[in-house]
Amino acid sequence: MKVALIKDSKVYDNKLLGLTLRERIKKTLERAGFVVEFFNDGLTLREAESYLFILEPVLILERDLRLEGKKALISDNSLFGYLFEGDFRNFFSGDLLSAIERYISMNSIEKQEVWAVKVSEENLKKAEKLLLESLVKSEKTGLKPAYYDGVIARVVNRKISLRISKFLAGKNVTPNQITVFSFLLSLVAAMLYLINNYLATLVAGIIVQIHNILDCSDGEIARLKFMESSYGAWLDGVLDRYADFVIIFSITFSLSQLNQSYWILGFLAAFAALMIAYTGDKFVAAYKTTYKSKGIPITRDVRLFIIFLGSIFNQLAASLILIAVLGNAECLRRIFEIKVLNSETTTSKGWTTERRA
């Protein structure tokens, strides 16, 4: 058993984006494999294979926290806790600080930098900002998702979705509800494209972009409230494929009123959308690691944005051409790129195996 002993503090009573800081540190450490207890003055130590002491109130932001060995835990050059092995118990006879001092003098303790903020009543706003930032699927945040955000997700969607997530944090909304609601919006957009007039197209385009933004919010809420689930991840991806298809189908249907050959274009665009997702997901399933594409940026966030722009400028045929050409070109490129990667991964250690695919 690994035990985390957290020195309690009033600061932990503060609520940050829907959960108290006490609940946040508890859930974070439980996820890292610890049994979590808070202590005040009288501390008793039961037998354990390792002891984690958190001595200063902190909000841990790191998502894939790995704690092993004997460590001094540092954040921003400032110490907030220790990780010791089971033999620490022999050093402890009631006074924690002197036991720590003796243990450190007898053992070699490495430093481990953890992405965390020491929290006080004064810096809760800053902590909240960092907590929101930690929800983004970027390499910086230490998340190891199937893929990192595309360019539109990074530059446009997350900027807005984080505000939505902040608003929804304290509400009784589950990630799966957002996923389903967002999907329903894509159906509304699809129906509007069928009407085939500019105003309806414009509104449809705006709804598509809202749908694009909400696709970021479901995951953010899941991470923020510790509600990530395998089913949610699966549903998120599967409903995205349905939404892609339904949107492209309805756009193609209305274009085909002008010219039947638009069906060919629509078919190629829908195929590209599905294959971009499939080649990425199949990579993740086969290699069990994050897919970092350095190719043509035509991920879903970008495709939906292209449709949004095409709707505003009433150029939906151009949107489909872009998606069909760039999407299929990118899939072909991936076939060659991944073949080369394959021979590299067997020799280099550059690609780490992911724990939680």
229 binds ligand C2G (CB under 6 A): yes
330 binds ligand C2G (CB under 6 A): no
56 binds Ca ion (CB under 5 A): no
353 interacts with, out of ligand C2G, Ca ion, none, CB within 5 to 8 A per kind: none
Rank residues 56 and 244 by Cβ distance to ligand C2G and give the closer one. 244
327 binds Ca ion (CB under 5 A): no
> What would the two tokens of residue 169 be?
């944090």
153 interacts with, out of ligand C2G, Ca ion, none, CB within 5 to 8 A per kind: ligand C2G
> What would the two tokens of residue 212 be?
């694009």
- Beta-bridge partner residues of 19: 16
Rank residues 83 and 221 by Cβ distance to Ca ion and give the closer one. 221
Q: How far is 18 from 165, CA to CA, in rounded Å?
A: 10
70 binds ligand C2G (CB under 6 A): no
* Residue choice 56, 62, 149, 244 for contact with ligand C2G (CB under 6 A): 149
- In sequence order, the 6+-apart residues with CB closer than 8 A to the CB of 65 are 28, 29, 31, 32, 114
Contacting range for ligand C2G; rule: CB under 6 A; set: 6-14, 146-154, 243-251, 261-269: 146-154
How distant, in Å, are the alpha carbons of 74, 103, 224, 272, 304 from that of 237?
37, 49, 19, 16, 15
DSSP state of 47: -
CA 311-238-236 angle, to 5 degrees, is 85
Q: How far is 133 from 59, CA to CA, in rounded Å?
A: 13
Q: How far is 81 from 62, CA to CA, in rounded Å?
A: 15
215 binds Ca ion (CB under 5 A): yes
Smallest separation, CB 247 to ligand C2G (Å): 14
Using an 8 Å Cβ cutoff, are 80 and 67 in contact?
Answer: no
Contacting range for ligand C2G; rule: CB under 6 A; set: 44-52, 100-108, 171-179, 266-274: 171-179
Contacting range for ligand C2G; rule: CB under 6 A; set: 75-83, 88-96, 219-227, 258-266: 219-227
Kind and range of the H or E run holding 64: none
Using an 8 Å Cβ cutoff, are 63 and 24 in contact?
Answer: no
280 binds ligand C2G (CB under 6 A): no
Residue 70, CB-side half-sphere exposure with 13 Å CA sphere: 13
Q: Within 249-278, which residues bind ligand C2G (CB under 6 A)?
A: none
220 interacts with, out of ligand C2G, Ca ion, none, CB within 5 to 8 A per kind: ligand C2G
236 binds Ca ion (CB under 5 A): yes
Contacting range for Ca ion; rule: CB under 5 A; set: 37-45, 91-99, 214-222, 287-295: 214-222
